[in-house]
Structure 1
Amino acid sequence: MSTRRRFTAHLGLLGASGLLGALPHATWAQQPELARLLVGFPPGGSTDNVARRVADRLRGIYAGQVVVDNKPGAGTQIAVAALKEAPADGLTMLLSPPAPFSIYPFTYRKLPYGPEDQLPVAMVCSFPFALAVGPAVPESVRSIPDFIAWAKANPGKASFGSPAAGSTPHLVGSLLGLMAGVELTHVAYRGDAPGLQDLMGGQLAAYSSVLGSFLPQLKSGRIRLLAVSGTERSSFMPALPTYREQGYDIDMTEWFGLFLPGKTPAPVVQRLAEAARAVVGQADFARGLAEFGMTPRYLGPRELAAQLRADTEMWRGHIKKIGFTSES
């Protein structure tokens, strides 16, 4: 069976089995001294920052110490593979966006992990995507329809960047071009910093990323946000209209979730889920996330499995239309 079909089938089993839905309350006889939280990105990025906030708050309620273990590379595949190889004792966790499980099965021919190798445990936050333009685009461009009209009139200049080829922001930008019937040339960067520098410097027309990546740059006055994804406007930018308000059904939002190795016993899964619920409910956790344009959001094991299943089916259709693969 192909990787992509196995992912979908496994997610269906997670939702149907009931294993993750009504788990018994469980405690460990003695709290372990040390647990690891894997992150597939280098220190300093948004995923790493959220992971460190989660790890700080899991200390004392899940383990005596929780350390962040950064394993960047291959679009988080190295970290996910490390989770696969870890003992299923609850002492090795992963904080990850959904892309390795909802997108990669459709863009990579082969992955170093399968759907049975990890269990979704808890969502801890969510956040939207946004599109910004810079000095390379006339000041009169203030909305998505304005940008599309300009792009059609200036095909040689209609470029957009993203933090990586095959990243969710890349696919969101490609989806906009597909829906609008205009070719938007994608420029892949290694993270947001160089892409935003080119955007503000006028070397790039537009940039697609998560909303929080743009917030520190707005004070410069050199970029203008045109749209935010999701079904409603962001509380961080209430004046910024959604893609949908401007005629494009780009409703997807990103999230970070906790995962455990696939064979982790149900009581251990539930114990981490309960600890994560306590973390997400803390007021200072919400304040910390606000720096990155993120909102605390908790989903338990059953609900997160359903969310991941829905994301996977959504991206299956979108990626088929876009036609992107890792070999593109």
Structure 2
Amino acid sequence: MWPKIVDWKQLKFGVEIEFVGGRPTEVELLPGWEMSLDEKQLDLTGAESGSELKPPPIQWEQRDQIREMLTRLKAGGAEANWSCGLHVHVGLESWGDPIVVPLVEAAAQVQDALRFLLRTSEHRLFFCPPITPDMAQRFAAEPSPQHIRHRGRPQSHRCGINAAAWFDIGTVEIRYANGSLDYEEIVNTIELCLRFVAAIGEGRQLPNDPERLAFELGAPVQGYPPSATPPQWFKERIWLEEQLLPLVAPFAADLVPNGEIHHIVPVEDGILIAIETGEEVLHKFVCRLTNTGWELLRRC
């Protein structure tokens, strides 16, 4: 049923807390909590040392579980750096299917305000592209998840307000927040997201202005995870990657049909090309560019 007034504190939510380093395998988890060890965040050296901590669906009154798990996580030396994000999932079961089209339409109208309020780092915008007006129109005519997912490289499929998550796990995922292991910053972000979804569920028209949006929602104006600048080597890596993409794409299509390039990095004896399939399986190849084109050296 939509619209429908639902207390934001009664909504179920989850949060994906990305981090690097520490000793994630040694962290004792509260019941229902999960630790993913194969994430792709980078530490300062460029090594893939990322992990992700997430709770089961909980409500606002249970948020102290987050404080406890952050304490355990940081005791092992974990930290959130420039490569980490904080994703909040809000359950839509109070409204069901009827809320999804209004949610997409509202997202297209106020996504900039939400992004500015959460101070999304510029280099992280790649992971949370906008819902375009064309996408919103196509979705309204035919509510299909394909209409609200971007195509191309797998890191940038999901919009900053990812309503496609409804079709997978019954939530909307808000991906704009920067990484953090600070309890207050995390719960401020969660509160903003819960209030935002509840307001859309109520059928309210929201302003596309950061401070006015926070005021209308009754959410904090400040206190969210701060933006972070990546190291120069990472910027240079991304610049190089963007230049190589047109050269690599045809070769990558031969290596993994229907795959999508995840990343391209130089290694000691060539260029490593990582290609992801629809099953989120990552295939890695080391290649080199010769006078006659790309040559495959080995599969990792």
Query: TM-score w.r.t. structure 2 length?
Result: 0.23
Q: Relative contact order, CA 8 A, sep 6+: which one is greater?
A: 1
Query: TM-score w.r.t. structure 1 length?
Result: 0.22
